[in-house]
Amino acid sequence: MGGVQWKKNLGGSENDWGTKVIQTTDEGYLIVGYAGSTDFDVSGNHGGLYDGWVVKLSSTGTIEWQKCIGGSEIDLLWSAKQTLDGAYILSGYSNSDDGDISGNQGDFDAILIKLSQDGEIEWQKSLGGSSEDNANSVIETPDGGFVIIGETWSDDEDVLKLHEGSDLWVVKVTEAGEIEWNTTLGGSGADFGIDAVLTQDNGYVVLGFIGGDSGDISVHHGAFDYWVVKLSQLGELIWEKSLGGSGPDWARSLVLTKDNSYLIAGESASNDGDVVNLNGGLEIWLSKVNDQGSLIWQKSFGGSKADACYSIGLTNDGGYILTGATSSNNGDFSGCENGGEDDLFIMKFAPESSAVSLHYNSPLSIAPNPASTSISLQGLETENEVNVIISNFLGQTILQKQMSPDEQINVGNLPKGIYLVSAIGENNKTYLGKFEKL
């Protein structure tokens, strides 16, 4: 990972938060979140507890414009996308019904706001019913409209039906923000919608997490599970899959990969069911599913304290990048200095063909572990040579060699830290383990 090119604090004398940042077509950046301040970088606040806050930065971090969006109550922005016409679409939730916000149906509503390229409001919509409704994410559709993904506790006004608790909620609107269709999905517990991607057949794969069974949910492992749902172009349920174990598993982010599969990031406190080799506590959990929702692989990593992943994105080299927060400085975060309670982390992975942390069939024992000079591989079910790859936790290959199963591997020159070892044998059977270098 390269060094810091620039950094900048934004805000005023009160609490101001950024929840989403995107790069814009002019190589600048757009940040959305919410602001409680009325001074310094923040102007135009409407006087409620928080206003939604939008900041446009140049490529070097200079503020080009900022805008407070809201009314006299609480207004929060969660997500932003730049649209094909160069404008911006924002989603969040609000219980205001004045100022910039109109059409509140009761309690908190999901809000959808279209801004011009210069930050002027083109239109705003409040969506929901008499209970709480939220829009965590928004995507643009090929027809110029938008789909919002969130959750609802309502069963009236814009919401067609409710199972129990909260439901995952998907709403399709026109390019002017008028509702074309909406669907609620869920079961007997609290169910939440987090993210979505367009599919090649113009449908949608939606990510959320579920807190119960019955209804649309075929399997519930326990507590909260990741939930992946395929919808048609008109919002009809095609298939659904839950992923997780008996503990809580919270899905946070979803990307469509080049092989038409789906990579999911979040965190887990399970160590059973679909979750394998969790070190303990709350850890980052990655999983990949195919175009029918079947699990291809899963990977957990973290340290002895709480670790959480909030976003995953694809990179231009075919790899991917994660960001989140960690309290750990050991385990998989060995060598990372922790400056306090929770630190932001960013982690870059190489493309899957070389990111050996993602491919495994069988566990691999490594001795000694920790190691200072050399290691041996144990548990290989072959007497023939294997292809061994040692990589760091950024997915970078450190060592690769063809070797016999009983051969020692010299690791004396490796820096301290956690390393992944992949051994590929006959019929491409792959073994995966990890060790700590002292």
pLDDT tens digits along 197-245: 999 889 999 999 999 999 999 999 999 999 999 999 999 999 999 999 9
Task: Show the tokens assigned to 404.
Answer: 């016999």
231, containing H or E segment = strand 225-231
Q: What does the pLDDT read at residue 353?
A: 47
Per-residue pLDDT tens over the stretch 127-158: 999 999 999 999 999 999 999 999 999 999 99
pLDDT band at 419 (very low <50, low <70, confident <90, very high): confident
* C-alpha span between 267 and 282 (Å, rounded): 7
Q: What does the pLDDT read at residue 396?
A: 54
Higher pLDDT, 348 or 105: 105
Higher pLDDT, 38 or 321: 38
207 with 196: CB under 8 angstroms? Answer: yes
Q: What does the pLDDT read at residue 22?
A: 87
Is residue 26 scored above 80 in pLDDT? yes
* C-alpha span between 16 and 248 (Å, rounded): 29
- The DSSP secondary-structure symbol of 2 reads P
Reduce the secondary structure of 14-59 to three states and give it as a string: CCEEEEEEEECCCCCEEEEEEECCCCCCCCCCCCCCEEEEEEEECC
* C-alpha span between 230 and 136 (Å, rounded): 18
What are the strands of the beta sheet with 146-152, ordered from one edge?
133-140, 146-152, 167-173, 179-185
Using alpha carbons, select from 265, 377, 359, 261 the residue that is nearest to residue 311.
265
151, containing H or E segment = strand 146-152
Q: What does the pLDDT read at residue 245?
A: 93
- The DSSP secondary-structure symbol of 239 reads E
Domain layout of the chain by residue ranges = 1-185, 364-437
Higher pLDDT, 49 or 21: 49
* C-alpha span between 245 and 239 (Å, rounded): 20
Per-residue pLDDT tens over the stretch 56-89: 999 889 999 999 999 999 999 999 999 989 999 9
On average, the pLDDT of the chain sits at: 88
Q: What does the pLDDT read at residue 362?
A: 64
**Chain centroid, CA 64 distance in Å:** 28
What is 364-437's CATH topology? Immunoglobulin-like (2.60.40)
Q: Cβ atoms within 10 A of the Cβ of 273, count?
A: 18
* C-alpha span between 431 and 416 (Å, rounded): 23
Tell me which residue has tokens 């051994």. 423
* C-alpha span between 385 and 171 (Å, rounded): 55
Is residue 360 scored above 50 in pLDDT? no
pLDDT band at 161 (very low <50, low <70, confident <90, very high): confident
Give the highest mean pLDDT range of 14-28, 97-111, 282-296, 316-330: 97-111
Size of the chain, expressed as the number of residues it contains:
438
Question: Could you give the count of Cα atoms lying within 13 Å of 285 in the half-sphere of its Cβ?
Answer: 30
Q: What does the pLDDT read at residue 32?
A: 94
Q: What does the pLDDT read at residue 437?
A: 84
Tell me how far apart the terminal alpha carbons of the chain are, to the nearest angstrom: 23
pLDDT band at 3 (very low <50, low <70, confident <90, very high): low
206 with 231: CB under 8 angstroms? Answer: yes
Q: What does the pLDDT read at residue 72?
A: 98
For residue 399, CA distances in Å to 49, 392, 410, 420 come to 54, 10, 10, 11
For residue 20, CA distances in Å to 58, 129, 187, 244, 346 come to 16, 26, 29, 26, 15
Tell me which residue has tokens 């269709």. 181
